[in-house]
Amino acid sequence: MSAAPETLAIRPPAVWLRFARALWRTATANAAMMTGIALFLAVVIVAIGAPVFAEVDPLDQDLLARLVPPSPGHWLGTDAFGRDIWARIAYGARISLVIGLVAVGIAMVIGSALGILSGYMGGWVDQAISQATNILLAFPSLILGLMVVAFLGPSVPNLIAAISLATIPQFIRVSRAPTIALRERDFIQACRALGFSPLRIMVRHILPNIWPEILVMGSLWLATAIRVEASLAFIGLGVKPPTPTWGGMIREGFEQILNSVYLALFPSLAILVVVLALNMIGDGLRDALDPRLKESKR
């Protein structure tokens, strides 16, 4: 009835370790996810090591070298002020990643907390949170971000707040539904019968059961957050110039689009790479976590 004694020596891996292994298995078997991870890591490395990868200061204007096309001195050329585009893209990656990661991180924490609360408590708590979620979801995230930034003014904290607010409802949704399913499971009832407080049940028993789903959502919405940040910068509601942002660079490049197309092209490609990479990772994560999807694909 019990396991043979010799098998007892094998320690079962912790949940996160099992999850990490499942991820690794999927990643190695899934070329798209591998590519996504490689691309995203490359962007992160460029952002962190921006001063190393680009010797020139992204704010340095060289009026003698304006609108230089890609050349050995300036890999990706220079803009209308003679600033090095490669340096601006490298430093711009920092803004995009910091705003994206922090905004999605905040949205993840607040959104999952509200979603679990809503799903577990039910009743008027659920009603209130769900209705608020529906109202927020009625706005496209860009419009919502636009309204908040227009109201508060463009700055890094305000952009983070705007993008978080736009992303929170997604996390509420993705955590509420599985919570409702879990709430009816016997082990949650057993926790209640043992006198565990609702807070303990939500944090210790529900969250660990649904966080893989939240993580998948996080990777997909990180891509959206970066896109929204770039869009806001493009319409002039991003971090103020001269700080380099990808969206801002596209906007500036747009004015020169007829004679120097690469001004807008390169930052666009940077956004494309990051969003593509994150979507590849997100799809891979979902495959790793949803065995049904995996079956149907192979």
* Chain residues that interact with another protein, rule: CB under 8 A: 1-3, 5, 8-9, 11-12, 15, 122-123, 185-187, 189-197, 200, 204-205, 208-209
Q: Which is nearer to another protein, 183 or 227 (CB)?
A: 183
Tell me the closest approach of the beta carbon of residue 225 to another protein, in angstroms.
28
CA distances from 105 to 122, 126, 151, 264 (A): 25, 23, 23, 29
Residue 122 DSSP symbol: -
Q: Which is nearer to another protein, 13 or 49 (CB)?
A: 13
Tell me the closest approach of the beta carbon of residue 217 to another protein, in angstroms.
18
Q: Which is nearer to another protein, 71 or 204 (CB)?
A: 204
Residue 153, both tokens: 């003014």
**Cα gap 77→2, rounded to integer Å:** 70
Tell me the closest approach of the beta carbon of residue 169 to another protein, in angstroms.
25
Tell me the closest approach of the beta carbon of residue 190 to another protein, in angstroms.
5
Rg (CA), the chain: 23
CA distances from 256 to 79, 240, 251, 261 (A): 9, 20, 9, 7
Tell me the closest approach of the beta carbon of residue 14 to another protein, in angstroms.
9
Q: Which is nearer to another protein, 124 or 151 (CB)?
A: 124
Q: Which is nearer to another protein, 106 or 191 (CB)?
A: 191
**Cα gap 266→38, rounded to integer Å:** 19
Residue 6: partners with Cβ closer than 8 Å, 6 or more residues away: none
Residue 91, both tokens: 């430093």
**Cα gap 211→108, rounded to integer Å:** 10
Q: Which is nearer to another protein, 85 or 206 (CB)?
A: 206
Tell me the closest approach of the beta carbon of residue 6 to another protein, in angstroms.
11
